[in-house]
Structure 1
């Protein structure tokens, strides 16, 4: 185990890569600490890269290696990272206490040693993230000498639902990048081009105008492939009569905004156009119902009623939207935090951000629809794109 470098080195690079001012992270940590106290816990161990970033600004492509933030109910947090990540962590955070473990060290052992040094006996821990395996969680529990770890996965998500002014500004930038990518992708759709060319133009345009790495790759699929969810480009050459499904997110300081549109190479079949019209009516209806005081379920149920009424229930069968914000691969959304879906009784508030992909599928034939990322204001939903939603004929 190696402590952070000398104070002189730390002072030279501390925070030079930080995405937000120190005050932004201090305010988040204060609210998080209050939530830990309210839950009756002595500390929370944060393991998800999104939440660690939200609290500290820590970001890297190397988040596949174990990392953990110890957030005590009283006192300053301490961040445990792999040795290779130490200087990058210093650069993109303002944390005074960072501990690094060597590649030959056992992260569970190092983490438990840190807890004992700080007198933390039985902390809560984020168990629901992507990067804490059941095996590692079991080892941490065994080394702590507790029968089971306290699951603290639900302590902080509600704090991330409502975005600060700085977060909203980042999302607006991300939306601009996504729109640039979508415009380029639509323009690249031509008979004889292939899916790779479309994806390349989407990525190139979004990146050129400012997008950072996206938490999920763009979705580009054509012909019958477009009728399968979450397909990515595979060199298929575009032909007359092909449908194309295009979706991507832009990223700014790890905050994401997504956008989806549909293209057809020539005239679309009547049934596809009817489905497209229905999807757009459902999207418009959902957007009109997003306002402070409405429930997430109400927004979804409004869209679902339109889809059911048109006879396309089987072509939908999903939520109408999900929360957006900080994202690391494998997902660009915050869907695990908040969904616009049946029985989700959470009340919508100003500062929330949602992506609403209104899509209808004829499986194995086509997907049609459009999406918007919106910010919830005091009066309703503010879409972050001005790109026309109708089916684009090329």
Structure 2
């Protein structure tokens, strides 16, 4: 484990690719240290790319390689990254303390060595992330000489629920990119075109509008495939009578906003129209109930009651919404942080951001519905798209 030998000779690189000013990250780190101290831990090891980015600005397509931010309750953070990633990390963060391990090194050994150098004996660690395997966690614990690592996965997510003005500005930009992509996708739906062409137009329009890489690919499915959740393009040619399901997110500085719409090639069946009407009523009602002080469960239950009352309970077996913000693949949402769902008692606050996909499915035949990403204001919910929500007939 070594510092790159020219690291300290290139201070002009620090922060040149940072997404936000240094003060934004300093404020987040201060709040995080207070939360760690309140939890009773001496330090937290952060392994999730979203939280590392939220705290430092560190972003790369190479986050598949092990990385760990050590954040003491009292003291400056230190970030451990793969050697190849060192200069990118220098450029997109303001961190003065970066340490690299080499290809071929044992990441667990590198992390534990770094902890010992910093005098940290019993840190908590995020155990619930995508990129810390049980095997690696067990190896870290073994090298630290403890039976099990203390789980600190719940310490920082509450801090990410309420977005700063800078974060909200990024999400607004992302919503503009998503809308551009959706407009292009709807326009591309024509008999004889295929799903790939629709997806290509969505991606091109969103990217030309300003979007960076999305944390999940757009969802484009037609005909009977549209009645299966989370399907995406695979060359199917659009035919008269086809339903077409479209969903994508735009990305600005890793902050995402998502949007979903439904297209029908010709005249939809009466049942599809009724389901679409129900989905839109549920979406409208949910948005209307979002305001400070209301529970997340109340918003979901309001939408669910409309769906149940129309007899479509079996067509809607999911939450009405989830939190949006920083995202890396494989998911564009923050649904692991906060959901609009039954029994979620967390009260809604200004600055929260939610994506509400109101979809009803006849499985293996069609999906209908629409979605909005909304920002919670002092008085209610502000949808970030002006695109009509009704079923588009082509």
Q: Which TM-score band (shorter chain)? A: over 0.9
Q: Which runs of 5+ in 2 are unaligned?
A: none
TM-score, with structure 2 as normaliser: 0.99
Tell me, in whole angstroms, the C-alpha distance in 1 between the residues paired with 2:102 and 2:294: 50
Give the secondary structure class of the aligned counterpart of 2:10: helix
Deviations 1:145-187 (A, max 9, x none): 0010000000000000000000000000000000000000000
Give the secondary structure class of the aligned counterpart of 1:2: coil
Tell me which stretches of 4 or more aligned residues in structure 1 moved more than 4 Å: none
Tell me, in whole angstroms, the C-alpha distance in 1 between the residues paired with 2:178 and 2:145: 48
Match of 1:129 in 2: 129
Give the secondary structure class of the aligned counterpart of 1:192: coil
Match of 1:94 in 2: 94
Q: How many residues align?
A: 394
Instruction: Kindly state the Cα deviation for residue 234 of structure 1 after the two structures are TM-superposed.
Output: 0.4
Tell me, in whole angstroms, the C-alpha distance in 2 between the residues paired with 1:7 and 1:310: 64
Match of 2:147 in 1: 147
Deviations 1:225-265 (A, max 9, x none): 00000001000000000000000000000000000000000
Give the secondary structure class of the aligned counterpart of 2:147: coil
TM-score, with structure 1 as normaliser: 0.99
Deviations 1:341-383 (A, max 9, x none): 0000000000000000000000000000000000000000000
Match of 2:267 in 1: 267
Match of 2:305 in 1: 305
Instruction: Kindly state the Cα deviation for residue 74 of structure 1 after the two structures are TM-superposed.
Output: 0.9
Match of 1:325 in 2: 325
Tell me, in whole angstroms, the C-alpha distance in 1 between the residues paired with 2:69 and 2:5: 19
- Seen in structure 2, the aligned counterparts of structure 1 residues 141 and 252 have a Cα distance that, compared at 3 Å, is same
Q: Which runs of 5+ in 1 are unaligned?
A: none
Tell me, in whole angstroms, the C-alpha distance in 2 between the residues paired with 1:150 and 1:8: 34
Match of 2:166 in 1: 166
- Seen in structure 2, the aligned counterparts of structure 1 residues 183 and 28 have a Cα distance that, compared at 3 Å, is same
2:209 corresponds to 1:202: no
Give the secondary structure class of the aligned counterpart of 2:263: strand
2:239 corresponds to 1:239: yes
Instruction: Kindly state the Cα deviation for residue 4 of structure 1 after the two structures are TM-superposed.
Output: 4.1
Instruction: Kindly state the Cα deviation for residue 9 of structure 1 after the two structures are TM-superposed.
Output: 3.6
Tell me, in whole angstroms, the C-alpha distance in 1 between the residues paired with 2:241 and 2:8: 64
Alpha-carbon contact 1:10-1:90 (below 8 Å) kept: no
Match of 1:358 in 2: 358
CA RMSD, aligned part only? 0.6
Give the secondary structure class of the aligned counterpart of 2:247: strand
2:21 corresponds to 1:21: yes
2:156 corresponds to 1:156: yes
Alpha-carbon contact 1:4-1:98 (below 8 Å) kept: no
Give the secondary structure class of the aligned counterpart of 2:368: strand
Tell me, in whole angstroms, the C-alpha distance in 2 between the residues paired with 1:7 and 1:304: 56
Match of 2:185 in 1: 185
Instruction: Kindly state the Cα deviation for residue 10 of structure 1 after the two structures are TM-superposed.
Output: 3.0
Deviations 1:285-317 (A, max 9, x none): 000000000000000000000000000000001
Match of 1:33 in 2: 33
Instruction: Kindly state the Cα deviation for residue 5 of structure 1 after the two structures are TM-superposed.
Output: 4.4
Alpha-carbon contact 1:178-1:259 (below 8 Å) kept: yes
1:363-378 correspondence to structure 2 within 5 Å: 363-378=363-378
Tell me, in whole angstroms, the C-alpha distance in 2 between the residues paired with 1:288 and 1:332: 24
Match of 2:84 in 1: 84
Give the secondary structure class of the aligned counterpart of 1:327: coil
2:282 corresponds to 1:282: yes
Match of 2:338 in 1: 338
- Seen in structure 2, the aligned counterparts of structure 1 residues 108 and 200 have a Cα distance that, compared at 3 Å, is same
Instruction: Kindly state the Cα deviation for residue 6 of structure 1 after the two structures are TM-superposed.
Output: 3.6
Deviations 1:56-112 (A, max 9, x none): 000000000000000001110000000000000000000000000000110000100
Tell me, in whole angstroms, the C-alpha distance in 1 between the residues paired with 2:370 and 2:139: 46
